[in-house]
Amino acid sequence: MDDPFLLAGRTYRSRLIVGTGKYASFAETRKAIEASGAEIVTVAVRRVNITDPGKENLLEHLPSDRFTILPNTAGCYTVEDAVRTCRLAREAGVGTLVKLEVIGDERTLFPDVPATIEAARVLVKEGFQVLPYVTDDPIACKRLEEIGCAAVMPLAAPIGSGLGIRNPFNLRIIIEQSRVPVIVDAGVGTASHAAEALELGCDAVLMNTAIAGAKDALLMAEAMRLAVEAGRKAFRAGRIPAKLYATASSPLGGIIR
């Protein structure tokens, strides 16, 4: 791989992580994931059946030899619920790589940062590789890294809002100080938002509604794949400095006068 994405000791080609909610069927979910090129797929343990063999199981459509399943604690509002949900996923055989969400407010779905830090501390001690959803707060992200989280996942904007990156300056600080991957999580609405996250230097971007809620989910999934690839290449290429005044595209030396 020319530019692998390293997360929790594994390498991936794709820097796009996708969710599995809001699709009409498991078949549509699989098609959208295929179109996105994603190799890591997050699943809400509290909302999707991954444990009852008597019912249709989402994991049957996502073979483990092709996808890394990332169970998440969506819908958890307390430390206890989030920790219990992660333990349930591990007992179900999904693994120890988890996306931690501890929501603090039903209307905004902003994370409860102190509770997230507390839950992360418990889970890391129990051997989980924790990817915490958190506000775009450099101090909170640093604390989570120090605890031992495998990455930090600051939001771009409220979950499902589609507003895009509201505070690129905080993200730049988080990226600059972090020694673990920085993954933008929540708020992406369209391809340009995904490209911007990668252009800023984020290691990856996670999304669900932007794809599942689009008029053509499969086409949007493809657009997001291309946007993430373009944004990463632009970051690696190194953009020109932004200037207030014009600079001639052609050199001025040797002009015939």
Q: Which of the residues are catalytic?
A: 99
The pair phi, psi for residue 11, each rounded to 5°, is -110, 145
DSSP string, 39-80: SEEEEETTTS-SS-TTS--GGGGS-TTT-EEEEE-TT--SHH
Burial of 173 (0-12, 13-18, 19+ CB in 10 A): middle
The pair phi, psi for residue 51, each rounded to 5°, is -125, -25
| Tokens found for residue 229 | 């690839």
| Tokens found for residue 123 | 């889970």
Q: Identify the three-state secondary structure at position 18.
A: strand
Cα(26)–Cα(49) distance, rounded to whole angstroms? 11
Residue type (1 letter), 147: I
DSSP string, 189-216: -SHHHHHHHHHHT-SEEEESHHHHTSSS
**Cβ–Cβ under 8 Å, residues 159 and 191:** no
